[in-house]
Structures are given as C-alpha cells and as structure tokens.
C-alpha cells in the first residue's frame, strides 16, 4: 500500500527537563520517525509493514518471530490444489474420529472452507476438552496412513449401505444427488462417506502438526431454524507448520483489530439491547469520525456534479409494490404500520424515493445526466443470529446515489463513478481493490441490445481506468449488469464496499421518461451506485484497518493536553480552547499522576499529547509527544497548531 511521509522543519529549541523526563519514560519502542537530535524529523506519520499480516507502527529494528510470520504468503484453496485436497480430507478424518469416540453421533456434511473445513454432527453438546480428544484421534488416523479409496455404486446400493448404518442425514443427502453413479470415499476399510472428492491419496499426506481444531458452534440442519440444531466443529489445515503458525498469528492480529472490542474500548459506538439488536448508537467520538466521513463524502459529490437529497424514512406500502420490493424482498422488510387507515412501510432502499424526485417534472434529453445522492438511512430485518457488530445490522445509512442518463452517456458516467470511488477510498487509506464485472443472468429484463450496450460500457470504463477485473459470467442482477469493488485492508482481507449497477427494471416499473430530440418519449438509463456501501459497515472496516489507530486527520481526538499537576490546569484549558478555535479536536485530561495520564492517552490511541509543567507556563510553550513519532520537544502553541494543520492537509494513509 502507498505511504506518505510528511517532513517538517526543526521544531524544538530547548526542552524542559521535568516534562521530557515523563515523556521519555513512556516511550516503549524506538522512534521510527526521528529522535530529539534529528534536524528534520517526520511528524504525525505512520507506516505499517504490510506483508501477509500488517505489523504495529514503529516496530523495533530487530527482526522478531512475528516478522518472519508476516513474510509468509498463505496459499488459498484456489491457488493450491493440494491444500484444498488436504482440507477436504481433514473434514472426513475429523468425522471418522468423532464417530470413533462418539458412536451415536450422526454425520451430515463436511465441506472445505476458506481457511479450513468444518463438519456438522447430530450429537450431544461438545466442549473445548472434547476438541482435544478428537484432535488426538485424528492424529492417530493420520499416522495410520490409510488410503483414500474412491468407489462408484448404484443408488440402490448406496441406499442399502446408509440404511445399514442408520444415518438419516446421509439418506437425505443421497435423495438430493441427481447424478449417477453415486461416489463414495473410504478411509482405509474403516469409514466412508458420500462424496465427490477430491482428496489426498492417503491420510499420511496430511501434516498433523499443520492441523488444528478451532471452535464449536451450533448450526441448524440445512440452515433451517425449524430443523434440528447440530454441533459444528471448525478446523483449519495447512500444508506445513509454518503456514499454520502464520495463520494463527493472522487470527490474533484480526482479534486485536476486532471492531466490536475496539468500539467499546475506545468508546466509539454500542449496540444497546434495551433498544434492540442491530441498531447502532454512535457515541461522541464515533459520531465525530462519521461527521468527517460525511463531510468529505458531500464535498466530493458536490464537486462532481451531484445534487444532494434528503428523503423520508417511511412511505406508503403501495410504493414498495410498484418497486417490486414487497414481492421479492418482503422477508427482509419490517412489518407495515397502519396510519389513518393507510399502510406505511419503513424503507429498505432509497431508490424509489429518488425516482419520485425525478418524476416531479418533465425532462428533456438536454437535462442529462442527472445525478442525485443521499446519505439515506434504511431498515432491514435480519435474524438475530446473523447480526454482527457494525457489519450486519438492522438500521444503516447507505451512501446512495443514482444517475439518470442516456444510452450513449453510460460509459462516461461509469468512468466518473470509478474516478470518484478511487478518490474516496484512497482518502481513507485503501488503494488495493478486487474488481468483478457481473454480466447478464439467465433470467433478466430488458432487450438484448441495451444489455450489450450497458455491459460494453462497463467494460470500456474499466479498461479506460486501467483496472484489472474478473468477469462473473451470468452473475449480474436480473435488472442489469454491475461492477463490484472489494477493498483490501491492512491484513489483506477483502471487503465488499463499492457497487455500480445499471438498472432497466425500475425505470420501467415507475414509467419514467424524457423527451428526446424528436419530441418522442423515451426511457432513461438508471445507474445505482454506492462507494462506501454503508457508513456503519465502512466504519467497522476502518476501525479494523487501522486497529483503532486512526490517522491524525481522522482521529476523533487529535491532541490531549496533560498537566503535570492541577496547578497547570487553567493554562491547559486555555491551550485547548485555542486549539479548538483553529478546528483542532483537543481535550484536557487531569486528575491522575502524569505517567498514568500518558498511559491512558496511549490506550485511547490519541495521536498527540502535550504536557504542561511549570516551565511550560513560564515560557508559554508545551512539550509534545506523538504516538508514532516519539518525543517532539518543546514548542510554542502556535507552532503546534501550524504543524497539526499541515499534518491534516497532507493526511497519511497505510
């Protein structure tokens, strides 16, 4: 990822002894951006070493074990055929081990997944202690080097064998298999399962020291809450021990960055169960970050020719009949409410509102393109079990926009959206993307020529942009082709954020038109697009991307002023007020001994601390320390302000 270093002029002359002593005592790692003797230190900057896993800022020069783990590039199921076979076989080995230890357990399905495998069992509840027993039995099976043998049988023979084992779930799986012959995989002569493969040749091909059972979870059979609750065991498997260690290191790093924990620790947001699950409360610090995001979003949209809208959170239910949401999306919508004998609906989407704004007057071909944008809050019903922090909620704000244009304007408009997407995402530190172009599915609306024209326009815009992309053949929505953009975070994880969709359906449903150059009514093209996706989810991604260590321009509190004793409190308040008048987010913190005040600021990930003792009051200065630059010395308040402003004007990114 790109990084930017801001080099500033020398900032210190004399350094007061008492304040600097406390600052030095709190420095836990060497400064990566200059020392007190450096003539041109770099301030307010931060760099991550982004390899397989990003490391903490300001790393010591010595190479650690974690540095070695960071350098390991983990294979994927797609990049390594042997890894996929190992994981699939591990699922079978685990199921065999479970049934050896718990003969009454019934097996269901056991696929490989992104980082390993799982298997679902109908059995008594398991504990972490049971996982150790199961892993020990798996090791025994692996060491026996049992061959994996593929067998083809008739449906009747498979039915007979399953009946003999009294495996009802296997019987249901068999009924769902349409192809023949039926394939079975045996582990030696001791255990078998219905399976299409692939597998390793023998269990000895698995490195037992590269396999670990991770967790137990409940899962309904076939994902249906009306069906039995099963015991799901998750495991991870790799080609060698080094990969497993790197993966476990990655997991620990992901745990450290978990936005749910950091949201609580840094007092950014909460989900209040008294109000209901999946409903986000933005606390003052989180609300400040949201305000910054929204301000930037509005600024770039206005600059690029969008008109901002604000529309209601509810509408008559008939609106959602016209849009088709009541027919195709009802299970994700809240129940209707009756108001004066009319039914109203909380909005799950913003699109129909923007169409109503378009329809308020007659349009000419000369009016196009028309671009409207809204930070619109929507409400969608999600099962309580699927809710997850800021990533899966019931009420969220979409950075929604719609473009109404002519056929021959599609390419330029898509290119404009791609440019805006790049500008916006790079501002927040994201510059690596995965792009997918999804084309016409089997069932769709719209004529062939308009699908071809729209799809070509999306391709041409991506080619003009120079972005590599993959074709998802037939993966488009029924109403038009689309582009999906996944951003890559500091851990290399990909997050779906931006999407651009051409829509031939809603213009027809709402019968929106314009008058062309021949005074004939025509249907405009409608483009849906979101850059951030939703503010809630994007904020969660930001928290995990930065591990809560936001860059200076985005940090909810940019500077904390710390008095050595309460005798300096009034001066600290004056400094804070001066910073605030210059638009700098600052606060005073006191009531504890200075070392604890500094530690608390570190825990709260405050970028800058300014310590004030008696000497600072005498010289009308402050002594400054940066979380990422170490001790920055003593300086006049005006110099501190100018340097913060420079740091904000040149925001750093990962």
Which residues belong to the active site? 351, 380, 398, 400, 402, 482, 528
User: What is the Cα Rg of the chain in Å?
Assistant: 30
| 525-534 vs 395-405, strand pairing mode | antiparallel
Q: What are phi and psi of 269, to 5 degrees?
A: -160, 170
Strands 229-237, 116-122: parallel, antiparallel or unpaired by DSSP?
Answer: antiparallel
Alpha-carbon torsion (325, 329, 333, 339), positive or negative: positive
Task: Name the burial class of residue 311, with classes exposed (0-12), middle (13-18) and buried (19+) by CB atoms within 10 angstroms of its CB.
Answer: middle
Any idea how long the chain is? 654
What is the distance of C-alpha 642 from the center of its chain?
34
Is 581 exposed, middle or buried, given 0-12, 13-18 or 19+ CB atoms closer than 10 A? exposed
- Answer for the pair 428, 542: CB distance below 8 angstroms, yes or no: yes
Sign of CA dihedral 301, 307, 311, 317: negative
| Cα angle, residue 11 at apex, residues 7 and 14 outer, rounded to 5° | 155
Residues 187/175, Cβ–Cβ less than 8 Å: no
Q: CA-to-CA distance for 95 and 366, rounded, in angstroms?
A: 66
| CA of residue 415 relative to chain centroid, distance | 24
Find tokens 């137990």 and name the residue: 216
3-class DSSP string for 478-508: CCECEEEEEEECCCCCEEEEEEEEEECCHHH
Tokens in use for 299? Answer: 């600024």
The CA-based angle 521-522-523, given to 5 degrees, is 135
> What is the CA 394 to chain-centroid distance, rounded?
17
| Residues paired with residue 22 on neighbouring β-strands, in sequence order | none
**Nearest one of 6, 7, 5, 9 to 639, comparing CA atoms:** 9
Q: Are the CB atoms for 557 and 585 separated by under 8 Å?
A: yes
Separation CA 556–CA 573 (nearest Å): 18
Q: What are phi and psi of 229, to 5 degrees?
A: -85, 125
Residue 646, preceding bond cis, omega within 30 degrees? no
Cβ atoms within 10 Å of 128's Cβ, excluding its own: 9
Which 3 state secondary structure label does DSSP give 647?
helix
Q: DSSP readout, 591-639?
A: SS-HHHHHHHHHHTT-SEEEEE-HHHHHHTEEEEEETTTEEEEEEEHHH
Do residues 306 and 371 touch, judged by C-beta distance below 8 A?
A: yes
């Amino acid at each position: 990822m790109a990084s930017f270093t801001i080099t500033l002029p020398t900032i210190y002359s004399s350094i007061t002894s008492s304040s600097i002593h406390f600052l030095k005592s709190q420095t836990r790692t060497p400064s990566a951006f200059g020392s007190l003797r450096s003539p041109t230190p770099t301030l307010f900057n931060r760099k991550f070493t982004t390899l397989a896993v990003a490391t903490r800022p300001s790393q010591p020069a010595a190479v650690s074990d974690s540095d070695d783990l960071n350098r390991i590039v983990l294979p994927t199921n797609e990049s390594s055929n042997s890894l996929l076979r190992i994981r699939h076989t591990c699922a079978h080995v685990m199921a065999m081990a479970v049934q050896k230890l718990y003969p009454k357990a019934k097996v269901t399905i056991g696929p490989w997944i992104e980082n390993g495998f799982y298997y679902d069992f109908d059995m008594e509840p398991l504990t972490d202690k049971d996982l150790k027993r199961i892993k020990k039995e798996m090791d025994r099976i692996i060491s026996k080097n049992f061959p994996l043998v593929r067998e083809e049988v008739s449906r009747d023979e498979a039915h007979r064998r399953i009946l003999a084992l009294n495996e009802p779930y296997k019987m249901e799986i068999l009924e769902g298999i349409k192809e023949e012959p039926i394939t079975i995989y045996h582990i030696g002569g001791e255990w078998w399962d219905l399976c299409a493969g692939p597998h390793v040749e023998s269990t000895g091909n698995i490195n037992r020291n590269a396999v670990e059972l991770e967790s137990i979870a409940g899962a309904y059979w076939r994902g249906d809450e009306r069906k039995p609750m099963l015991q799901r065991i998750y495991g991870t498997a790799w080609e060698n021990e080094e990969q497993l260690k790197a993966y476990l290191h990655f997991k620990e790093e992901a745990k450290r960055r978990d936005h749910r924990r950091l949201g609580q620790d840094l007092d950014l947001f909460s989900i209040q169960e008294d109000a209901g699950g999946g409903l986000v409360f933005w606390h003052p610090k989180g609300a400040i970050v949201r305000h910054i995001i929204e301000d930037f979003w509005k600024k770039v949209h206005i600059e690029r020719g969008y008109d901002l809208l604000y529309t209601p959170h509810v509408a008559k239910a008939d609106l959602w009949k016209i849009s088709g949401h009541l027919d195709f999306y009802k299970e994700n919508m809240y129940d209707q409410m009756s108001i004066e004998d009319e039914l109203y609906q909380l909005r799950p989407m913003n699109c129909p509102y923007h169409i109503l704004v378009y329809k308020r007057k007659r349009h000419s071909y000369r009016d196009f393109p028309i671009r409207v944008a809204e930070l619109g809050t929507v409400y969608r019903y999600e099962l309580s079990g699927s809710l997850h922090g800021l990533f899966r909620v019931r009420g969220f704000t979409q950075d929604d926009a719609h473009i109404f244009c002519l056929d021959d304007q599609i390419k330029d408009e898509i290119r404009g959206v791609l440019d805006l997407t790049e500008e916006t995402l790079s501002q927040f530190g994201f510059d690596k993307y995965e792009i997918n172009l999804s084309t016409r599915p089997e069932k769709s609306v719209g004529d062939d020529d308009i699908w071809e024209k729209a799809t070509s326009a999306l391709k041409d815009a991506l080619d003009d942009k120079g972005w590599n992309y993959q074709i998802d053949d037939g993966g488009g929505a029924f109403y038009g082709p689309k582009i999906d953009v996944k951003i890559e975070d500091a851990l290399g994880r990909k997050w779906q954020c931006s999407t651009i969709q051409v829509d031939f359906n809603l213009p027809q449903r709402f019968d929106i038109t314009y008058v062309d150059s021949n005074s004939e009514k025509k249907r405009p093209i409608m483009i849906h697009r979101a850059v951030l996706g939703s503010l809630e989810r994007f904020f969660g991604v930001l928290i995990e991307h930065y591990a809560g260590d936001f860059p200076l321009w985005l940090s909810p509190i940019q500077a904390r002023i710390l008095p050595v004793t309460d005798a300096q409190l009034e001066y600290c308040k004056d400094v804070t007020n001066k910073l605030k008048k210059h638009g700098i987010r600052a606060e005073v913190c006191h009531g504890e001994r200075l070392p604890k005040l500094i530690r608390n600021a570190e825990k709260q990930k405050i970028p800058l601390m300014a310590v004030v003792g008696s000497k600072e009051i005498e010289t009308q200065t402050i002594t400054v320390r940066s979380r990422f630059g170490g001790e920055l010395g003593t300086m006049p308040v005006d110099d501190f302000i100018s340097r913060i402003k420079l740091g904000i004007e040149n925001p750093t990114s990962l």
